[in-house]
């Protein structure tokens, strides 16, 4: 077989290793703890972790917590849970960027002493004005030529809380005429009196992302700092920082395209808004693609890893069909999960020639495609529930299920022939009557006669009541994900709640988080949040039908 071709990042790494640039590679995943992780982050986690594993290197899990405004411990905990769930082994070490505040400060002083950074007193508006535009060069700040001694003294005073918030900044001295706006004397430090979740009120100055990030990588010996494309034009600044701070083994930044999925909402900002507006039931609402939502819905880490392999790594943006993710979970669960019977929209089926007090137990395979999963006993009796949709008074074209006079197979049961039905005064069918052929036990007739329809059922007196939640995409791409005002254009049918479903009695043993194939209906997971002792709630993970072919 032909060798799988390497992606562009693997090619860079292999070249670097061949040239002996690094003895061992170090990658990292650096989330900002300002929200829950989503499927896009999973891509970054699995990519970085996968590369470290592939090349015998190290993978660092680091919280990029240098911006105290939006960061919360709740987010730190959930991110940790998600990274572990995906199986990215970080060797029990979690790095926090805020642990480097002292060293970052030292780097800033180092740059000042070198004449590469200065304290600037311009107001934020003036700084913006002086910066120029894409077509016009910027102007030098009048404070740009302050001597290192003065800058050092002012910077220390900034640190010691002697100036108001926003009254001064530390800037890199690079080039106000650069074609790259990021290189026009970017801000390295700002004054902001904010409580930090890790360092409390130790600091009243905080480093800017573009200064902090390359330093974090360099401090940790990261070799390949893999980020998404929007940072491409920050790379010259990244390189400037690690060069001017004179690291012996500077890391290098490599950009790849973000993962976008059709018909879902990614982007912490948008997800947070849905949560804050109460449109969804928290960050783990099964319609979201946060990792906690996917987990709650019943996605497995294996399915997400498989999905990322299929998607690959690209240098330009594209959107991946959500159906591909569905394909991956279906494929993962197919041979692993029991196939059980659940009736989502029940009507009663009465077998009029079946003895009233009789119960028999059918031996049913747990998974027809995986013998190793064994069998279970399923009760069968005179009164069953079947899907309302499996009976019609008038036969539609090409309909082979129950209608008066027709014979069908009850899956793992008997052949039954519809004899009659009962309807209420509005014409709604309340009961279907049939007779069974005792010789057809197990679903085959001894005379070899065939039936075209097979339907599923549960034994009414033994069935367990359950709530089932069916999901559709939360947005409809064709109508546009976002409205003109920036709000999300929601699909009003994204959640359908069925309260009176019946599941077979074996499901009584199910624990929250367990998943099953409900025959003919798809894969379902017992909800971890809303299931209680006497109330089962199932989330549909995915239907049986696929619109995606690998």
226 belongs to an annotated ligand binding site? no
Shortest spacing between CB 66 and Mg ion, in angstroms: 11
The answer on whether 33 is annotated among ligand-binding residues is yes
Residue choice 10, 12, 40, 512 for contact with ligand ATP (CB under 6 A): 40
Q: How far is residue 294's CA from residue 541's CA, in Å, rounded to a whole number?
A: 9
Identity of the residue, 361 or 482, whose beta carbon is nearer to Mg ion in the bound complex: 482
Nearer to Mg ion, 32 or 153 (CB): 32
Contact flag: residue 266 with ligand ATP (CB under 6 A)? yes
Closest CA to 349 of 429, 427, 426, 405: 429
Residue 40 binds: one of ligand ATP, Mg ion, none (C-beta under 5 to 8 A by kind): ligand ATP
**Across 205-256, where does the E strand assignment appear?**
205-207, 224-228, 252-256
Span 30-59, contacts to Mg ion by CB under 5 A? 32
The answer to the question of whether 440 is labelled as a binding residue is no
Burial of 456-465, coded b for 16+ CB within 10 Å and e otherwise, reads: bbbbbebbbe
Binding mask of the shown chain, residues 6 to 35, with x at each position contacting ligand ATP by CB under 6 A: ------------------------xxx---
271 vs 386, beta carbon nearer Mg ion: 271
**Is residue 86 packed enough to be buried (19+ CB in 10 Å), middle (13-18) or exposed (0-12)?**
buried
Q: Does residue 259 interact with ligand ATP by CB under 6 A?
A: yes
Establish whether 38 is an annotated binding residue.
yes
The Cα–Cα gap between 206 and 222 comes to: 22
- The minimum distance between CB 36 and ligand ATP, in angstroms, equals 10
In angstroms, what is the C-alpha Rg of the chain?
31
**Dist. CA 131–CA 139, nearest whole Å:** 6
Of 258 and 520, CB closest to ligand ATP: 258
Residue 259 contacts which entry, ligand ATP, Mg ion, none (Cβ below 5-8 A, type-dependent):
ligand ATP
The structure tokens 């009659």 sit at 420
Looking at beta carbons, which residue is closest to Mg ion?
A: 32
- Report the 3 state secondary structure along 475-540: ECHHHCCECCCCCECECCCCEEEEEEEEECHHHHHCCCCCEEEECCCEEEEECCCCCECCEEEEEE
Nearer to ligand ATP by C-beta: 43 or 190? Answer: 43
Half-sphere exposure of 324 (CA within 13 A, CB side): 19
Q: Which does 43 bind (CB under 5 to 8 A by kind): ligand ATP, Mg ion, none?
A: ligand ATP
For binding to Mg ion (CB under 5 A), which residues are involved?
32
Q: Which residues are annotated as a binding site for L-glutamine?
A: 64, 209
For binding to ligand ATP (CB under 6 A), which residues are involved?
30-32, 40-41, 43-44, 227-228, 258-259, 266-269
């Amino acid at each position: 077989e032909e060798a799988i071709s390497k992606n562009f990042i693997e090619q860079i790494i292999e070249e670097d290793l061949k040239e002996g640039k690094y003895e061992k590679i170090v990658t990292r995943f650096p989330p900002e703890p300002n929200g829950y992780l989503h499927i896009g982050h999973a891509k970054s986690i699995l990519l970085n972790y996968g590369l470290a594993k592939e090349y015998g290197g190290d993978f660092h899990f680091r919280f990029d917590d240098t911006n105290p405004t939006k960061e919360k411990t709740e987010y730190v905990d959930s991110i940790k849970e998600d990274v572990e769930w995906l199986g990215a082994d970080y060797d029990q070490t979690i790095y926090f960027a805020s642990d480097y505040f002292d060293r970052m400060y030292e780097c800033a002083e180092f740059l000042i002493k070198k004449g590469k950074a200065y304290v600037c007193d311009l107001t934020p508006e003036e700084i913006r004005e002086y910066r120029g535009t894409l077509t016009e060069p910027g102007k030098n700040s009048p404070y740009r030529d302050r001597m290192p001694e003065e800058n050092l003294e002012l910077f220390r005073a900034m640190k010691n809380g002697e100036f108001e918030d926003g009254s001064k900044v530390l800037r890199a001295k690079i080039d106000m005429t650069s074609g790259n706006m990021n290189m026009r004397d970017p801000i390295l430090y700002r004054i902001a009196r904010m409580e930090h979740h890790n360092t409390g009120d130790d600091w009243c100055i905080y480093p800017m992302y573009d200064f902090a990030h390359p330093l974090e990588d360099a401090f940790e010996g990261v070799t390949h700092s893999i980020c998404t494309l929007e940072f491409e034009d920050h790379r010259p600044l990244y390189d400037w920082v690690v060069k001017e701070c004179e690291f012996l083994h500077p890391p290098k930044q490599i950009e790849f395209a973000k993962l976008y999925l059709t018909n879902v909402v990614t982007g912490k900002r948008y997800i947070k808004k849905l949560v804050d507006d109460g449109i969804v039931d928290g960050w783990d609402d099964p319609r979201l693609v946060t990792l906690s939502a996917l987990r709650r819905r019943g996605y497995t880490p294996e399915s997400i890893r498989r999905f990322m392999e299929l998607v690959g790594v690209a240098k330009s943006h594209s959107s991946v069909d959500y159906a591909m993710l569905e394909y991956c979970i279906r494929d993962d669960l197919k041979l692993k999960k029991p196939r059980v019977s659940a009736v989502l929209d029940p009507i009663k089926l009465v077998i009029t020639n079946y003895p009233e007090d009789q119960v028999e137990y059918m031996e049913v395979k747990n998974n027809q495609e995986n013998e190793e999963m064994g069998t279970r006993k399923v009760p069968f009796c005179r009164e069953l529930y079947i899907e309302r949709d499996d009976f019609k008074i008038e036969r539609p074209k090409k309909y082979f299920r129950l209608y008066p006079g027709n014979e069908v197979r009850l899956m793992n049961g008997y052949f039954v022939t519809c004899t009659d039905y009962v309807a209420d005064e509005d014409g709604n069918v309340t009961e279907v009557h049939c007779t069974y052929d005792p010789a057809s036990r197990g679903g085959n007739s001894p005379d070899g006669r065939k039936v075209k329809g097979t339907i599923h059922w549960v034994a009414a007196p033994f069935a367990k009541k359950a709530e089932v939640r069916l999901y559709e995409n939360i947005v409809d791409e064709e109508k546009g994900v976002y409205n003109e005002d920036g709000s999300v254009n929601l699909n009003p049918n994204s959640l359908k709640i069925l309260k009176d479903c019946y599941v077979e009695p074996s499901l009584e043993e199910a624990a929250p988080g367990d998943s099953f194939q409900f025959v003919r209906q798809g894969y379902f997971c017992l909800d971890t949040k809303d299931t209680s002792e006497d109330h089962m709630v199932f989330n549909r993970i995915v239907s049986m039908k696929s619109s995606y072919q690998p």
